[in-house]
Structure 1
């Protein structure tokens, strides 16, 4: 009976509890959890860095990374009950699973430092080697948290740009419809007007209609080209959003691969 109960305790409920105990920004267990006005909770350091680096703030008002509800930085509320629960879940996790560690390929030691100059994870031997001795290094967990905060901010920025591009695309589509309706209305007015003096102004009528149609063609063509460009921009931003969302799930080990690709791209 005890064995069956232990298996149930370490099954799906534990996994769900672990997800609930993680910070939405760094995706790690909550540290010094605080709640904002909308009720969502984050690590104190994560949400503080988010506010400091956010470019979407209005004065001292910020948007929640999860639901975009507005909150003020001075309204953080320490969530001691949640902190206690997180500690209990940590202990439960330690008793039910072994934490996976990444090892240095050269020294076979755990990677627990990050070189800010070379942008790569290090073990304690690498950190003290002549190659990195004079470089600035920080704990790998801190580097991971900072990286994920940057990804989250970039993701928010790209989502906002994509939303603006979609709105502009929709507005251009509405302008096309409006222009078509206006042209149809003017066409009817011209036809009625020239019918009154058709015998005298038949030639002038044809010229006016030709000019109107030419103006319609030019304007509609410009609007369609604008709509195509905005659609392309929307697709580009959507692809970038998907890439950033994938990056937000990156592990500490992936930092080296991401930065290596960025270095090759810059070269």
Structure 2
């Protein structure tokens, strides 16, 4: 895929407030989209009149609805980005040559399945890295 196209696609699915892929995206009446939590944080007096951080148009929006299509695309892009990250050579376990798929909550480190069951980590709390990534967001 053309890297310029991919970057444009990634920007289109990025919230201009938090600069991360959308979570619960909503579109205000000027047409710009934001994560719902970002709007609530950036507009402390919501739902009174507020200015769009992109175009500065004054907006009054009481019934924000989740943009399901944008939400699905952002979710897919997060998964693809995570898969690309995991397939990188540095995400392979040096001892077992396995992909690191688990997150050790005690050591705050990525582990392969074999390492997560080792004596060193067997008593620690682990979760799949997809869960840890979403939790950190």
TM-score, reference length from structure 1: 0.33
**C-alpha deviation, 1:136, in angstroms:** 0.9
1:80 aligns with 2:68: yes
Q: Deviations over 1:52-109 (max 9, x none)?
A: xxxxxxxxx941xxxx22347x96622113135447x74xx79xxx824211222221
Question: How far off its partner does 1:30 sit?
Answer: 4.2
Separation in structure 2 between the aligned mates of residue 139 and residue 75 of structure 1, nearest angstrom: 35
- Contact kept, 8 Å, 2:27 with 2:67, in 1: the verdict is no
In the alignment, the residues of structure 2 paired with residue 37 and residue 115 of structure 1 have an alpha-carbon distance, to the nearest angstrom, of 39
Q: Within 5 Å, which residues of 2 pair with 1:123-162?
A: 123-147=112-136, 149=137
Question: CA RMSD, aligned part only?
Answer: 3.8
| TM-score, normalised via structure 2 length | 0.56
Q: What displacement does 1:16 show?
A: 0.9
Equivalent in the alignment of 1:69: 43
- Match of residue 59 from structure 2: none
Q: Which has the larger radius of gyration?
A: 1
Give the structure 1 partner of residue 57 of structure 2.
Answer: none
| Greater fraction of residues in strand | 2
Higher helix share: 1
Q: Can you give the 5+ residue segments of structure 2 that lack an aligned partner in the other structure?
A: 48-61
Q: Tell me, yes or no, if the aligned pair for 1:34 and 1:79 is still in contact at 8 Å.
A: yes
**2:25 corresponds to which of 22, 27, 34:** 34
Aligned length: 112
The unaligned stretches of length 5 or more in structure 1 are 1-8, 51-60, 150-267
